[in-house]
Amino acid sequence: MELRNQHIEIPDYPESNPFENDLLQREQYANVLTSILANYKKGFVLAINNEWGTGKTTFVKMWMGYLKQKSYETIYFNAWENDFQDEVIIAILSELKKIKGNSGKLFARVLEKVLPLLKNTGVELFKHAMGKITGEKTVEIIAEGLGEYSIASLQKGLDDFEDKKNSIKEFREVLTEFVQSIDNDNPIVFIIDELDRCRPNYAVEVLEKMKHLFSVEGVVFALSIDKIQLGHAIRGVYGSEYINSDEYLRRFIDLEFSLPKPDVKDYTMSLITHFGLHVYYTNAERQKHREFQNDMDALIFMLDLIQYSCSPTLRQLEKILGLFSIVVKSLKFNQYANPMCVIYIILLKIMGDGGYYEKLVSRKLSLQEILDKTVELLYPIHEESKHGYFIWFQAEMVFFYWKYLYEKDKSVVLYEGELNDESFEIKVDGKADNEYDSLKSSIGGLLSDYHLRRRINLLSHIIPHIELTKIVT
């Protein structure tokens, strides 16, 4: 078992469907985007805008395979993996060079025209950089066309505004000729991923170069971004929180698309399998003890409830289950940890809800606050048949936390709509009488059942594991 879920395998041979292993059923959105490409072949800039951890990278890689099957020349550029390269132009050209069937001599002319636009000076430095990405043969082809540039003359050209404008124009003309030389009726699709994770100045420079140099007829740019995070980068580069990043991005983006929120039940089940939880909870020895028998159902219920109420990203869901797996498997085999309570406490930690988790682990919450938070975060239940699970979860959270506060056995008195010990009372405001009765009955069951009472100190065991462990994704 790996601590991180492995990337979904994307078949790359022509006869296979790239979405074959897609658990989020997003092939329909690839159809939509591809139909847009077919109707706007001259080129535009598309932004696929979703927050981090929602599966954008997997989607665009599947879409890339889908496009290739439909005879689209497609390039994938991970900006984050390339932001070590100061020269954005070289990084983009190195990807463009990968297009099959292009003319080496025509590409050499593209390189010739880009030279005066580079930040770095010196022909030898340029040759060295291009040699690493295109091979020595290409360098030989372009060497003659480069001409004799001295550092001084190149610097003069860069300083001269008119010369630079002419250089941009000539570069775009030759680049257009290069794109048109590709024997294909479809536009080239240039996917730029992870732009919002780059160094801020690099992200902005990619946008600027894309717009001013590479935006030519026959090329579609598809940016996979989180606009909120990219907006932070833009404001950081320009040194002002008052920069309107949405307005800035409109200069570059023609069409914006967001992947709809998926039904993630299949993805959740794949994570449960990946982290070995199904095997763990259906172990024959464990199933001999009745308190373990319903744990798998309880786990699935809580994960479903969290998705319905809190909408965690796919990455957050992976972190929750990864940490949960480590915590429960670190307990002794015969120790019991209610999956609903452990998942809930991990959720509080990962979601970072206003310091509530820190108050819980430091015993600074009242029992009433424990109960109220479960209602605020997770209630109401969208399936009537699941109310019993939720009431049982509330009872165990209240019971566990009460024992966590005192770490010793004390009697609990239940009367007149309140749960009371010597210091605390819990009011079940806003609940129907039958729901209160169920909660009271559940807590009473925890107190009276010997097997269930074996759990009473487990928050003291579980919380240190949660505190000390962090899944980095």
> Where a domain ends, among 257, 276, 299?
257
Residue 19 in any domain: the answer is no
> Where a domain ends, among 233, 257, 281?
257
Neighbour-count burial for 114-141, b at 16+ CB within 10 Å, e otherwise: bbbbbeebebeebbebbeeebeeebbeb
Residue 6 in any domain: the answer is no
pLDDT of residue 409: 44
User: pLDDT tens for residues 72-86?
Assistant: 989 899 998 887 766
Question: CA 51 from chain center: how many Å?
Answer: 7
pLDDT of residue 154: 47
Amino acid identity of residue 421, one-letter, is: D
| Type and span of the H or E element at 158 | helix 151-159
User: How far apart are the C-alpha atoms of 205 and 87, rounded to whole Å?
Assistant: 9
What count of Cα atoms within 13 Å lies in the side-chain half-sphere of residue 147?
Answer: 12
Residue 354 in any domain: the answer is yes
Residue 21 in any domain: the answer is no
* Share in percent of the chain as helix, strand, coil (round to 5): 60, 5, 35
- By residue range, what is the domain housing residue 71? 27-257
Residue 12 in any domain: the answer is no
Asked if 185 and 292 sit in the same domain, the reply is: no
> Where a domain ends, among 208, 238, 257?
257
Amino acid identity of residue 454, one-letter, is: R
Cis status of the peptide bond prior to 464, with omega within 30 of 0: no
Asked if 42 and 62 sit in the same domain, the reply is: yes
Residue 118 in any domain: the answer is yes
How many C-beta atoms surround the C-beta of residue 333 within 10 A?
Answer: 9
Q: Which of 360, 364, 348 is nearest to 302 (CA)?
A: 348
Asked if 58 and 31 sit in the same domain, the reply is: yes
Residues shown for the chain:
473
User: How far apart are the C-alpha atoms of 392 and 54, rounded to whole Å?
Assistant: 31
Residue 432 in any domain: the answer is yes
How many folded domains does the chain comprise?
2
User: pLDDT tens for residues 356-378?
Assistant: 999 998 888 887 888 889 888 98
pLDDT of residue 254: 94
Q: Which of 178, 169, 181 is nearest to 114 (CA)?
A: 169
Asked if 294 and 317 sit in the same domain, the reply is: yes
Asked if 270 and 230 sit in the same domain, the reply is: no
User: How far apart are the C-alpha atoms of 224 and 197, rounded to whole Å?
Assistant: 11
Q: What phi-psi label fits residue 276: left (phi over 0), alpha (psi between -120 and 50 degrees) or beta?
A: left
pLDDT of residue 396: 83
Q: Is 199 helix (H, G, I), strand (E, B) or coil?
A: coil
Residue pair 337/327 in contact (Cβ under 8 Å)? The answer is yes
Asked if 349 and 227 sit in the same domain, the reply is: no
Asked if 352 and 204 sit in the same domain, the reply is: no
pLDDT of residue 161: 52
List alpha helices for 407-448, DSSP H: 433-448
pLDDT of residue 417: 40
305 phi, psi to nearest 5 deg: -65, -40
Residue pair 405/414 in contact (Cβ under 8 Å)? The answer is no
User: How far apart are the C-alpha atoms of 166 and 171, rounded to whole Å?
Assistant: 8
Residue appearing with tokens 């307005």: 247
Q: Which of 364, 363, 349 is nearest to 306 (CA)?
A: 349
User: How far apart are the C-alpha atoms of 165 and 174, rounded to whole Å?
Assistant: 14
Give pLDDT < 70 ranges for the chain: 1-8, 12-14, 85-86, 100-104, 119-164, 284-293, 333-336, 380, 382, 406-437, 444-458, 470-473
Asked if 179 and 133 sit in the same domain, the reply is: yes
Distances (CA, A) of 34 to 8, 38, 40, 135: 22, 6, 10, 33
pTM over 0.75: no
Asked if 223 and 283 sit in the same domain, the reply is: no
Asked if 308 and 236 sit in the same domain, the reply is: no
Distances (CA, A) of 233 to 6, 212, 315: 29, 20, 22
User: How far apart are the C-alpha atoms of 44 and 32, rounded to whole Å?
Assistant: 16
Question: β-strands 413-415, 418-420: how paired?
Answer: antiparallel
Asked if 203 and 63 sit in the same domain, the reply is: yes
Distances (CA, A) of 366 to 223, 357, 410, 442: 48, 13, 16, 19
Q: Which CATH number covers residue 63? A: 3.40.50
Residue 18 in any domain: the answer is no
Asked if 401 and 288 sit in the same domain, the reply is: yes
pLDDT of residue 257: 96
